[in-house]
A and B are shown apart, each in its own frame.
Chain A
């Protein structure tokens, strides 16, 4: 059993966070979902909110998202977020 999840948080113009993590929490439309390694595959629609990522060394990172969706399978999670408002595209 893999002890970490491979995380990608991507916006249309950039990758916001990528790396290995111990756990991930994300605001789905039905409430927060917590993802640990070996979670079943899930595809969920996200609300605006904060994605929490606990990285390998136990540090907790928070990424603001403005909605999107996440897909989790084989211990890899991809969180796709909409462009962040107020941050102009290059």
Chain B
């Protein structure tokens, strides 16, 4: 076997083993996405219940809670970016980061200073490479977020929101993540989490005026207890949506990779075959011409 053939065979073999890896990763993503969607579904009643309660409280009480009112003592705003830990998910992380950069430009044009928070190694390395300051980072577990992680993130943001202006307090909290609309559609999304847009919250429930609740122990205490939970639930939902989107993107990317690997294998198989054939042709013509020469000589 000539050098050329051996080279093609080698490439086919390595592409075949790559294809197996891609296929395996596609299957892993496919099996995990079912679980991620299930968790998203299981978390929904919790989030819905809290949201409903929040909108009822803010609708009926006049309490001026710090979490519903705008802060004007600082122009720092927090932006949390949620990306994947690993690549191999197509443009998933790049899309989120592009959206985050757009948001950053918009906020800076409004004269605000952006305090960057990043969840997911991809976001962390993106900002580290550009020498941007990161206030806090979380990596690990982007494809199966735990509620504990949501608590960590939510409580950090909560603390920043309540902190004094000179101690790194922020007046707004934005979250950039990928919304999971369906298996085939995920889009980068910017969510302003705090201060809560009460007007919007009420507009969502115009079909039924929330009942006049009796608050126990009092409206203010109920709000105090609700808000950390609200933040955690919202962050958890964002993390779960991002995880489901990441897995869907990975499954698609790996599917494309498998198809590409198959194309390459087919291409190299053809090249290897034609190399083999031309080698045979050459050998035959050598033998024939050798025989001819011998026949001519005798």
B127 at the interface (CB under 8 A from A): no
Residues of B within 8 A of A89 (CB): 146-148
Contacts of B216 in A (CB 8 A): 28-30, 33, 42-45
B244 contact set on A, CB distance < 8 A? none
Q: Which of A11, A15, A71 is the one whose CB lies under 8 Å from B53? A: A71
**B interface footprint on A63-90 (CB within 8 Å = 1, 0 otherwise):** 0000011010110001010110000011
Chain A residues contacting B53 (CB-CB under 8 Å) are: 43, 69, 71, 78, 80
> Interface code A51-69, partner B: CB below 8 Å = 1, 0 otherwise?
0000000000000000011
With a cutoff of 8 Å between Cβ atoms, the chain B residues found around residue A71 in the complex are 49, 52-53, 56, 213
How many angstroms between the C-alpha atoms of A64 and B226 in the bound complex?
20
Query: Size of chain B's interface in residues, with CB distance under 8 A?
Result: 32
C-alpha spacing A57/B214, complex, angstroms: 29
Q: Is there an interface contact between B49 and A80, defined as CB atoms closer than 8 Å?
A: yes
In contact, A30 and B229 (Cβ under 8 angstroms):
no
Contact A42 B39 (CB under 8 A): no
Main secondary structure, interface of A, reads: strand
Known contacts A13-B147, A69-B226, A71-B56; is-contact A42 B49 (Cβ 8 Å)? no
Given the interface pairs A13-B43, A43-B57, the reply to whether A80 lies near B50 with Cβ below 8 Å is yes
CB A49 to nearest CB in B, in angstroms, measures 15
Chain B residues at the A interface, C-beta cutoff of 8 Å:
35, 39, 42-43, 45-46, 49-50, 52-53, 56-57, 146-148, 150, 210-217, 221-222, 225-226, 229, 232-233, 236
Q: Which residues of A contact B (CB under 8 A)?
A: 8, 10-15, 28-30, 33, 40-45, 68-69, 71, 73-74, 78, 80, 82-83, 89-90
Across chains A and B, which 7 residue pairs bring their CB atoms closest together, nearest first?
A: A44-B216, A41-B211, A73-B211, A45-B225, A43-B213, A78-B49, A10-B45
